[in-house]
Amino acid sequence: MKFTVSSSALLSLLATTGKVVSNKNTLPILDYFLMELSGTTLKVTTSDLETTLVGSIEVDSTESEGTIAAPVKLMLDSLKEFPELPLEIDVNDKNWEIRINWKSGTLSIPGASAVSYPAVPQLSSEKKELELDVDTLVNGINKTIFATADDELRPVMNGIFINLAPSALTFVGTDAHKLVKYESEAENEVNASFILPKKPANLLKSVLLKEEGAIAVAFDSKNATFRLKSHTLVCRLIEGSYPNYNAVIPANNPNKVLVDRIELVNGIKRVAVCSNPTTNLIRMNIADNRINLTAQDLDFSVSASETISCSYEGQEIAIGFKSTFLVEILSNMDTPTVVIELADSTRAGVFKPVYDDKQASSTLMLLMPMMLNA
């Protein structure tokens, strides 16, 4: 196997696919890139057995084709030190030595036989196939991934629930304290749902930024495949039934607060410095077009309060939230103004962005309140 390739193109491909590699691989071969050269196309595969990412680039010239397993860390550490220049990569098929030659030097890295590299999982004949708009997919992942859980006892909450209905595409993330539902208008021929784990969702998020057009998606009961222009991601889905998220969204919230999002976030951050470090409780007293934020830590005799103006319709209300979750929710919205809908101090608060014009998508974020001491 011998070919010439641009150093920056090869580094870019290996850096992207290398994100799959886990620090705790059960098989030593998974610490390697699987590199396959056919014609002028170099295909690179990485896997952690749950998630597999395949990427490809066109090389400048090929002398001989072949397959090699190349160590991830050594390849990346070596390539990071090169400026943009052509590299000749020569693999010895007998002892699997990888030689990287350039105009003023040479470098040798020990490779391995690719025979034991695990095969890419194949979907069953009952798979469902569709095309998703790249912006919808990126927005859906970005809006919901922060709300997913890290809960070994409830694995279904550790991923993004994606529901395909005839006229809408819904993404949901929840950890039982906070919940985000992002819905986008879409014409779907497929009526189905699946739970996408957090790791492949994060990988997709970074790879999709360079994409345009539609993404081909296929999935069965166990795995999903996302086909992009120069990458294919295959991942194992989270199995199980997702909780009924619509049941926890309060339908009738008579109290509505319109407030400047940035002003509220900054106020919460300032006041939260004095909150109890174990609970991060922040109290919101809302009345007369004002939100009074207060926090205190009795153990250290510290307290803080700040008043923010808002537009309020409803009864006077006092409600407590975890400040870190509040900041997270408000920071993941992108409009200057938000509306907070409340029922009473024991029921979830609903947060929605306020847009000037009609949108083809809607975002709803929900946060469970904390108990207030009288």
Topology alike, domains 2-110 and 128-242: yes
SS3 66: strand
- How do the residues of the chain divide into helix, strand and coil, expressed in percent and rounded to 5? 20, 45, 35
Q: Residues 53, 165, 152, 240: is their CA dihedral positive or negative?
A: negative
Q: Where are the alpha helices (DSSP H) in 36-120?
A: 72-79
For residue 211, what pLDDT is reported? 83
Taking CA atoms, 257 is separated from 98, 156, 250, 271, 317, in Å, by 63, 33, 16, 19, 11
Per CATH, the number for 2-110 is 3.10.150.10
By the 8 A CB rule, do 42 and 36 touch?
yes
φ and ψ at 264, to 5 degrees?
Answer: -65, -45
How many Cβ atoms sit within 10 Å of the Cβ of residue 186? Answer: 18
For residue 297, what pLDDT is reported? 93
Task: Tell me, rounded to whole angstroms, the distance of Cα 161 from its chain centroid.
Answer: 12
Q: Where are the alpha helices (DSSP H) in 69-191?
A: 72-79, 134-144
Query: For the chain, what are the domain ranges?
Result: 2-110, 128-242, 249-367
Per-residue pLDDT of the chain (374 residues; tens, 9 = 90+): 999 999 999 999 999 999 999 988 889 999 999 999 999 999 999 999 999 999 999 999 999 999 999 999 999 999 999 999 999 999 999 999 999 999 999 999 999 999 999 999 999 999 999 999 899 999 999 999 999 999 888 999 999 999 999 889 999 999 999 999 999 998 888 889 999 999 999 999 989 888 888 899 999 999 999 999 989 999 999 999 999 999 999 888 999 999 999 999 999 999 999 999 999 999 999 999 999 999 999 888 999 999 999 999 999 999 999 999 999 999 999 999 999 999 999 999 999 999 988 888 999 999 999 998 75
In terms of residues, how long is the chain? 374
Task: Tell me, rounded to whole angstroms, the distance of Cα 126 from its chain centroid.
Answer: 27
Does the structural domain 128-242 have CATH classification 3.30.420.250? no
Q: 249-367: what CATH class?
A: alpha beta
By the 8 A CB rule, do 141 and 197 touch?
no
The closest alpha carbon to 186, from 206, 210, 162, belongs to 162
d(CA 225, CA 209): 18
For residue 187, what pLDDT is reported? 83
d(CA 188, CA 173): 21
Report pTM: 0.92
For residue 374, what pLDDT is reported? 56
For residue 104, what pLDDT is reported? 93
